[in-house]
Amino acid sequence: MSAAMPSMPERAHRAADARGAGERSPRDPRAGLPHPAAWRVRGNQWDAILTGGSPARTLALQLPGNPLDAQWDARTLEPALAECVRIAGTGVAPPLLIAWSGTFADSLFGGDMRNWMRPGWDALQQRLDSWRGRLEGAGVRLALHPHATHLLSDVAGAMRLLVDRADQPFSVICAPAALLTPEMLGDGAREGTRGRIAEARDVREHLLRALSVLGPRTPLCVLQDVRIAGGTRDRLADTHARGRGADAADRRSDDAGDSALEPCAPGTGALPWDALMALVSEHVPPHVPILAE
């Protein structure tokens, strides 16, 4: 590469900065993806994450709910494992299972101080130990989807889990937006969730950390835009409802009700989408599917 030509991340950073402070327009989440695209098909028990051509392959089953709930194993995990065994019986590799790491809070995305202290880490280890034998017996891997309000809430914790359980059937989903808090977005985001230069440069450091550490180690990269919760909830519901039905929108809206941040259409939130794509290209292996929504 010529010394005079900016790198891909530098070009993306300039493009993001050049958009200025005006309102941002929605983006096609799959436009320009540097990797195979994945997409979500919503179901009554779980969501299927598909990838590939025709016919599409079921890459993963994303399980709803809080794994710390007493009935979660019987109501959610066991039926999903049975489905994986059924699929494997047809001669197809069983899909990955994706689950939240869980929370002590009453609502799925409600914060609880115990989540980020020793009781939270101990509770997560107990759940993993209880699942390990069943997963290995079924030949299925489970990937935890981290979130800033959950037991697995940051890059350091995710990396510790991957190292400690390297020989066990567990993975971690690379979902950089889910690890953010309002304080990570910068002053511009807190003031108006608009694409200001200070905001973009601040949040890029956190996106880089998540993607550079977890990107090379993930079976699936999940990309979302986010904004401060309590904004225009009608627009959020409309975004989720398009192509998915009102029931799906209601479920997502209920799940996200206590979040400090909420997902929104790519290009309308606080994240510099072009820079995010450039970081994915640099740090996530090209065979890893991307679920952008």
pLDDT of residue 110: 84
pLDDT of residue 34: 75
pLDDT of residue 25: 67
Classify 186 in phi/psi space as left (phi over 0), alpha (psi -120 to 50) or beta. Answer: left
Distant-in-sequence, close-in-space partners of 45: CB < 8 Å, separation ≥ 6:
76, 79, 80
90, 240 contact by CB (below 8 A):
no
146, 173 contact by CB (below 8 A):
yes
pLDDT of residue 32: 74
pTM over 0.85: no
What DSSP designation does 6 have?
A: P
- Dihedral sign from CA coordinates of 113, 125, 221, 291: negative
pLDDT of residue 235: 35
Three-point CA angle 88, 59, 108, nearest 5°: 110
In angstroms, rounded to a whole number, what is the distance separating the alpha carbons of residues 141 and 137? 10
pLDDT of residue 246: 31
pLDDT of residue 26: 76
Q: What are phi and psi of 142, to 5 degrees?
A: -120, 125
285, 185 contact by CB (below 8 A):
no
Q: What is the pLDDT along the chain (293 residues), one digit of tens a residue?
A: 333 333 333 433 333 333 333 455 677 877 777 788 999 999 999 999 999 988 899 999 999 999 999 999 999 999 999 999 999 999 999 999 999 999 999 999 988 999 999 999 999 999 999 999 999 999 999 999 999 999 999 999 999 999 999 999 999 999 999 999 988 886 434 434 444 434 334 789 999 999 999 999 999 999 999 998 874 333 333 333 333 333 333 333 334 344 489 999 888 899 998 899 999 999 999 999 999 98
Tokens of 282: 């640099």
Omega before 55 within 30 of 0, i.e. cis: yes
pLDDT of residue 20: 35
> Within 13 Å, how many C-alpha atoms sit on residue 88's CB side?
14
> Within 13 Å, how many C-alpha atoms sit on residue 271's CB side?
32
128, 122 contact by CB (below 8 A):
no
